[in-house]
Amino acid sequence: MYSTCEYASACSRHAPCWLLPRLASLQVWQSPTGHYRTNAHAPPSTTRLKNRFHPSSKLRRVESRCKAQMQESSHVPLGMDAAGWRATLAQLGWHELCNEVSEHAQTELGMQACRRLLPTLGDAEASQGLLTLTAALTAAEQSHGAQIELGSMRSVDAARALQRADQGGQLRTRDLLAILSVVEVAASTCRRVSSLLEKLDGQKAAREVMPLAPFQDLLEVGPDVLSFRKEVLRCLDEDASIRAQASPDVARCRQTVASLRLRAQRALASSGEVSEWNGRFCLALNPADPIPSGSILLGGASGGGLQYHEPPVALRLNNALAAALGELNTAENAVLWRLSEGAQACHTPLAGLLHQLVELDTAVAKERFGWWIDGHVPGLVGLATALELRRLRHPLLVAAHLRGKAQAAKSRRRLAGPRRGSQGVESNLSPPALPIPPAPVPIDVLLPKGVRAVVITGPNTGGKTAALTAAGLSVLSCLAGIPVSTSVPARIPAYSAVLADIGDNQSLGASLSTFSGHLARIQAVRKACTGRELVLLDEVGTGTDPTEGSALGAAVLQTLARGGKGGAALVLATTHHQSLTGLKYEDPVFENASVEIDASTLRPRYQLAWGIPGRSHALAIAERSCLPDAVVGGARATLGKASLTAEGMVAEMERLRREVETARARAGEEERAAADLRRRSAACRASTVARETAAARQAQTSRAGVIDRALAELALVQKDQQAAKAERGRKEAALREAAAIAQERASRAERRAAWRPAVGEEVRVARLGIVARVLAVDAARKKVKLHTRLGRVEARMDELDFVD
């Protein structure tokens, strides 16, 4: 928030003289969307401000320019001018990094915002907010599949249309559709964020994406904007044409135009070929064709062929059609003015939506850039915590490598398959492979606790400057909310800024030599230091006498390492002065590091070795460069015994360090082997116990199975015995029943043999199966007369049986 007097003072430095009286009563406030507003902004009205040079328009432009300057000043370290800060960013490659981030933006304004990214200086809370938002977007897109799609928004067209609407100008149909794209994207993004939060509500993962919750309110489309959207959709088609239902006048005029065009075509159809010339219906005639009487020659083809004549019958219809088209244009302009006034009335919420979407697009671009380079969102820690960058890769080198791989793959796909040679014959020769930049070698920047200055030594082309810029870009990326290319999330102290002196600062125009340029730059760095900065010094103490340069470099490093006003929180410096490596043994806040080189091939390994100084290997390189032995020997003699002894001590330290690293690696391997043996032994014991347990369980199961089978067989035997016993019982009962039946039959046969039917007795007639009463008995004939329900019958005595 800027005060009124600061804002008016800033404006007065750039305003014309006629505007100064108005600045005295200028009031400034910041809107919820982040826009600075003044009382020069009149409330939305239907007044059409067509003159862009109106005083209020000039005031708005002055306000915008002053706002940009104030925002730029908030991103410049205290005590340093903007030009010096821009030079620092250029030395570190910040603008190249921003260009890489912008490649992942989805809108044109998002790309522009990414290219203008500046790290947040001196505000750890703001930087932490940016990192938290990047982490939330990473969780949303990479873990939960909630992609933030903003590509359908026509951001540049929408911004220009809103500016024109705010000035009271008329918007075209495409301008209105561009504004509508902002509303549609805001609504869809708000729904997507709300859906994600609802889906994760109550889960542990909800905490990861909770920083996206404010966008539900920031991207919410208000009722006024919804009404404007509804009106635009009612009046405009997707192809940017005005609908007939936009207004009654448009519908009536279009109907009139269609009717007149049809009448004109019908009126000329019988006279020849009907054509149009500048919107007027006419006849297309060849020079030899007869010309209708009273026709007007409208024009002819450029080749002298067809001529276009307007007959009298079409004159009146064409005039009426021209008048109808004029009325239609007036009606459509009225619709556009009405919609333009609606956009002007909703300018503030629409501009707020556009601003928030561009901010979101910038944040998404940071997140997707981090995913592309396989980076992680760093952790911002206190200044007392040591800088920790594990397996750090230079982001620009990573981007160059990945882009080279993608271009090579694209080229291979494009040129794959048989190709035509120079003689038209197919050739199966594969196209030449495009060179791919090598992948950067990761380095470890792991500072011991309490270290405030690091002196990095080693040969040229060993990667000292690349290590400096990689560390500086990592800190700047953290302050701007950009992921860092490390194997694990980095731990970066909350430095207030990154100040650097990298490269050759000589300037012939300013009469600055290399040494003078370094001194001027170091003085600017010291002036801006407050004890909370990261300072990067490349080739400190160079450009002058080595003895004096090393002494001056030591004094500069000691001053910066003290901290406080004029000091730094951490200094990373590269040098070729071996005497500066002795500062470690005088002050514990110093540490040495060196870039590694392969002693056998003298090729750099692009890795940092901590704790020991590096060697330049100049004599060894000269010897391998085929210089005469006498020259190299003379150089060694000139160096003297003490220098060679120091060189030998460094070599011995390197040898001891390699032996320590080898022993440490061997110990690590042995420890891993022992751990593996312990794991295998534990696995064997567990396997043995499992087998014994399984065998015991199987034996117990087998015993239980034997018992179960025995019991089952016993049950079957008992069941068989019971079945046999039951069968015997049934057979005995059947025998008894058969005996009883036989006995009864024998008894009945005896009774039957002694029985004689008597009159009035009921008997059973076997052949009829009925019971009848005896009416008469004829013993001589052995026949009996019977009375049945069927009537009287006669039967033989042997056919009768008595009834029990």
Q: pLDDT, tens digit, for every residue of 38-57?
A: 443 333 333 333 333 344 44
Residue pair 613/659 in contact (Cβ under 8 Å)? The answer is no
Residue 214 has pLDDT above 80, yes or no: yes
Provide φ and ψ at 705, rounded to 5°.
-70, -40
Residue 242 shares a structural domain with residue 325:
yes
pLDDT number for residue 616: 61
Rounded average pLDDT over 784-798: 79
Provide φ and ψ at 520, rounded to 5°.
-60, -40
Residue 683 has pLDDT above 70, yes or no: yes
Compute the mean pLDDT over every residue in the chain, rounded to the nearest whole number: 81
Question: What distances in angstroms separate CA 443 from CA 155, 328, 389, 570, 605, one per listed residue?
Answer: 40, 71, 8, 18, 10
Question: What distances in angstroms separate CA 750 from CA 611, 753, 764, 802, one per listed residue?
Answer: 136, 5, 17, 12
Q: How far apart are CA 352 and CA 213, in angstroms?
A: 17
642 lies in a domain?
A: no
385 vs 667: which has the higher pLDDT: 385
208 vs 52: which has the higher pLDDT: 208
pLDDT number for residue 90: 92
Residue 456 shares a structural domain with residue 550:
yes
pLDDT number for residue 657: 63
Residue 494 shares a structural domain with residue 591:
yes
pLDDT number for residue 504: 64
Residue pair 28/37 in contact (Cβ under 8 Å)? The answer is yes
609 vs 27: which has the higher pLDDT: 609
- Can you say whether the dihedral through the CA atoms of 669, 672, 677, 680 is positive or negative? negative
Residue 608 shares a structural domain with residue 475:
yes
Rounded-to-10 torsion of CA 786, 789, 793, 796: -60
241 lies in a domain?
A: yes
Q: pLDDT, tens digit, for every residue of 372-388?
A: 999 999 999 999 899 99
Q: pLDDT, tens digit, for every residue of 744-753?
A: 777 777 777 7
44 lies in a domain?
A: yes
Residue where a domain terminates, one of 616, 643, 659:
616
pLDDT number for residue 95: 95
Q: How far apart are CA 585 and CA 588, in angstroms?
A: 7
Helix axes 395-415 and 94-102, enclosed angle (nearest 10):
40
Residue 539 shares a structural domain with residue 455:
yes
End-to-end CA gap in the chain: 129
Residue 67 shares a structural domain with residue 140:
no
Query: Which residues fall within 8 angstroms of residue 748, CB to CB, at 6 or more apart?
Result: none
Residue 194 has pLDDT above 80, yes or no: yes
How remote is the C-alpha of 641 from its chain's centroid?
A: 61
pLDDT number for residue 473: 95
Residue pair 472/500 in contact (Cβ under 8 Å)? The answer is yes
Residue 70 has pLDDT above 70, yes or no: no
pLDDT number for residue 654: 60
36 vs 666: which has the higher pLDDT: 666
Which stretch of 26-35, 94-103, 343-352, 698-707 has the lowest confidence by average pLDDT? Answer: 26-35
Residue where a domain terminates, one of 616, 642, 669:
616
Look at residues 530, 537, 517 and name the one whose alpha carbon lies nearest to residue 79.
Answer: 530
* 30 band by pLDDT with thresholds 50, 70 and 90: very low
Residue 670 has pLDDT above 50, yes or no: yes
* % of the chain exceeding 70 in pLDDT: 81
* 400 band by pLDDT with thresholds 50, 70 and 90: very high
pLDDT number for residue 770: 80
277 vs 493: which has the higher pLDDT: 493
* 58 band by pLDDT with thresholds 50, 70 and 90: very low
Which stretch of 183-192, 247-256, 354-363, 632-641 has the lowest confidence by average pLDDT? Answer: 632-641
Tally Cβ neighbours within 10 Å of residue 463.
25
Query: Which residues fall within 8 angstroms of residue 295, CB to CB, at 6 or more apart?
Result: 283, 309, 310, 311, 312
Looking only at the bridges linking them, the beta strands covering 590-597 and 453-457 are: parallel
Where on the phi/psi map is residue 463: left (φ > 0), alpha (ψ -120 to 50), or beta? left
Residue 43 shares a structural domain with residue 140:
no
435 vs 193: which has the higher pLDDT: 193
802 vs 264: which has the higher pLDDT: 264
Residue pair 318/267 in contact (Cβ under 8 Å)? The answer is no
Residue 32 has pLDDT above 80, yes or no: no
Residue 424 has pLDDT above 50, yes or no: yes
- Residues paired with 37 in a beta bridge: 29
Residue 588 shares a structural domain with residue 485:
yes
Q: How far apart are CA 663 and CA 654, in angstroms?
A: 14
Rounded average pLDDT over 477-503: 93
Separate counts of helices (H) and strands (E) for the chain = 21, 23
Which stretch of 172-181, 542-551, 558-567, 781-790 has the lowest confidence by average pLDDT? Answer: 781-790
pLDDT number for residue 381: 93
Residue 162 shares a structural domain with residue 54:
no
What H or E segment, with its residue span, contains residue 389?
Answer: strand 388-392
pLDDT number for residue 723: 87
701 lies in a domain?
A: no
pLDDT number for residue 231: 94
Provide φ and ψ at 302, rounded to 5°.
-65, -30
Which stretch of 8-12, 416-420, 502-506, 706-710 has the lowest confidence by average pLDDT? Answer: 8-12
pLDDT number for residue 37: 41
Residue 210 shares a structural domain with residue 324:
yes
Which tokens belong to 559?
């001053």
Q: What is the CATH number of the domain that holds 607?
A: 3.40.50.300
Rounded average pLDDT over 717-734: 86
Q: How far apart are CA 174 and CA 574, in angstroms?
A: 57
pLDDT number for residue 545: 80
8 vs 283: which has the higher pLDDT: 283
716 lies in a domain?
A: no
Rounded average pLDDT over 110-137: 93
Q: What is the CATH number of the domain that holds 318?
A: 1.10.1420
pLDDT number for residue 46: 37
Question: What distances in angstroms separate CA 557 from CA 373, 446, 561, 586, 766, one per listed residue?
Answer: 34, 20, 6, 13, 143
Hey, which of 112-116, 210-214, 549-553 has the most confident mean pLDDT? Answer: 112-116
Residue 49 shares a structural domain with residue 165:
no
Residue where a domain terminates, one of 372, 403, 420:
372
Provide the domain limits for residue 793.
Answer: 762-802
What H or E segment, with its residue span, contains residue 606?
Answer: strand 604-610
Looking only at the bridges linking them, the beta strands covering 426-427 and 419-420 are: antiparallel
Residue 334 shares a structural domain with residue 239:
yes
Q: How far apart are CA 483 and CA 492, in angstroms?
A: 12
Q: pLDDT, tens digit, for every residue of 554-607?
A: 999 999 999 889 899 999 999 988 888 889 888 999 999 988 777 666 677 778
621 lies in a domain?
A: no
* 533 band by pLDDT with thresholds 50, 70 and 90: very high
> How many structural domains does the chain have?
4
Q: pLDDT, tens digit, for every residue of 623-665?
A: 666 677 777 677 667 665 545 455 555 556 666 666 777 787 7
Which stretch of 116-125, 241-250, 343-352, 769-778 has the lowest confidence by average pLDDT? Answer: 769-778
754 vs 492: which has the higher pLDDT: 492
Residue 3 has pLDDT above 50, yes or no: no
46 lies in a domain?
A: yes
Question: What distances in angstroms separate CA 369 from CA 101, 155, 755, one per listed residue?
Answer: 6, 21, 125
Q: How far apart are CA 161 and CA 148, in angstroms?
A: 24
* 507 band by pLDDT with thresholds 50, 70 and 90: very low
Rounded average pLDDT over 10-29: 38
356 lies in a domain?
A: yes
Question: What distances in angstroms separate CA 294 from CA 274, 300, 310, 313, one per listed residue?
Answer: 17, 17, 9, 9
